[in-house]
Amino acid sequence: MKKLILIFTLFTSLLSVGQKTNFKSNQDQKPNIVFILIDDFGWMDVGYNGSTFYETPNIDALAKDWMRFDNCYTPSPMCSPTRTSILTGKNPARHGITQWLPGLNRAFTKKGEKATVFSPKPKVQGIQESEITIGEAFQEAGYETSFMGKWHIGSFKETGGPKNHGFDSETAVIESNKCTMFYPFWDNPQFFPNAKEGDNFTDLLTDAAIDFVSEKRDTPFYLHLSHFAMHAPIETSYELRTKFQKKANNLPENGAFWNDYEFTHKKIKARQDDAEYAGELYTLDKNIGKLVAALKKEGLYENTIIVFTGDNGGRSSFMGGHPTSNEPLKGGKTYVFEGGMRTPLLIHWPGHSKAGMQTNVPVTSMDFYPTLLEMAGLPQKPKQHVDGKSFVPLFNGGKFEHKAMYWHFPHYQGEGSYPASAIRVGDYKLINHYHHNKKQLFDVIKDPYEKTDLADKYPKKVAKMYKKLMSYLKKTGAQIPQPIAEK
């Protein structure tokens, strides 16, 4: 009888060769994966978190239908480190990419202020060949994998790009940050050879993603869709700029910036009022809705896991402008305050996520690797995603907890931030400011906006958490800023 079954199986398999169909919902099939990563995407850049200036109707609708994570932390307040961590499941302190690549040794400070510590550019200049990326893990499991959009985790010469790290195909891959929203995309017309004047990068990238998921295939797919939006330069159409400028004109004249404080050397945006940014975000939102609608039209939605998140907090300050605000969260991109490391996270997991599901339990971008493997019914790779932990239990009301969460951004940045590391244990977060030789302690549950420093009140807790933080950094081989000897 077993021989007959084997012969029948072989016969039906041969009949199916060359006959590709859309890989749709079936209990015996592996789920498809669409991972959507937004650049410089602040926690307050969406209506469902309270923004009243921006308009994100499609994303807000998904927040009602999918599972909503309100304490998603990125492992770094900057793009290159987080992007590497998503693909590897490792903390930046461990994989060595702690700044945008190639990075700078330069110390940005206030006028007349000298740097007190030296922090070199990242010791690692690209994702390492030895890493088994999430793309490779899904490749091994028989998935067709594709990478689209921003790379910025090492030059193509240094890393070989997506195809050398687990992706069967790649589309419009941005090596670093050299791109614009409109054709010719900062003199990169090769991203989309058929593009013409007036074409928008986000529109075309979404169209490419829809073409990919709509292909007829007999295997599941993993799509890593890495948008360049909302990274500078910020651009939108005349119509959208006009629409949001009218909205901005009705805002009060005062209150646009925070007053400068001890831990920044740039002004921090205190409200959302940039019409250009609002227009670009509106376009992004439209495209997210368009992609989800395409998955439904193709009959793929009920067998596709979709992750929607960002790589760090919104850029609230910079030498060339202040596009967004993370208020009431403190700081923004490159700061280890909450505004620099909190980003939206929504997940659609067919049969598990349901309308109205929401959690405040802290998760991090390093968790995506083991979580997606478990969701897809694939074995874990604990030697690879050593800093990540599957948060699948949160979908059924189970317990999930990181005993400690770590951040390491030891660089002076043009956005206004100083070198710092941080640790969160339970409700408390400790920040070690290297330049100021000072520590801050916050209860981020009672005080999520980090207004009350508790360091003087709880010196023993500070000492204990600092010891744990430095032990972790030493264990992972992290570069620690060193004091500059006075001449």
Domains and CATH numbers, the chain: 29-397 (3.40.720.10)
Residue 359 clears pLDDT 90, i.e. is over it: yes
**Of residues 120 and 77, which shows the higher confidence score?**
77
| CB atoms near residue 135 (< 10 Å) | 22
Residue 438 in contact with residue 430, Cβ under 8 Å? no
What gap in Å lies between CA 156 and CA 163, rounded to an integer? 10
Contact by Cβ (8 Å): 247, 53: yes
Spatial separation of the C-alpha atoms in residues 281 and 122, rounded to whole Å: 31
* Residue of 132, 191, 163 lying closest to 379 (CA atoms): 132
Cross-strand pairs, 223: 34, 146
pLDDT band at 337 (very low <50, low <70, confident <90, very high): very high
35 membership: H or E segment, kind and range = strand 32-38
pLDDT at position 20: 42
The arithmetic mean of pLDDT across residues 26-34, rounded, is 80
pLDDT beyond 50 at 16: no
Name the 3-class secondary structure at 191: helix
Residue at 414: amino acid letter: G
Please check the confidence at residue 25 and state whether its pLDDT lies above 70.
Answer: no
Note the pLDDT of residue 261: 74
**Measured distance CA(390)–CA(289) in Å, rounded:** 27
The contacts of residue 394 (CB under 8 Å, 6+ apart) are 67, 359, 361, 363, 400
Asked whether the predicted pLDDT for residue 430 surpasses 80, the reply is: yes
- pLDDT band for position 260 (cuts 50, 70, 90): low
- pLDDT tops 60 at residue 14: no
* Separation of alpha carbons 367 and 369, rounded Å: 6
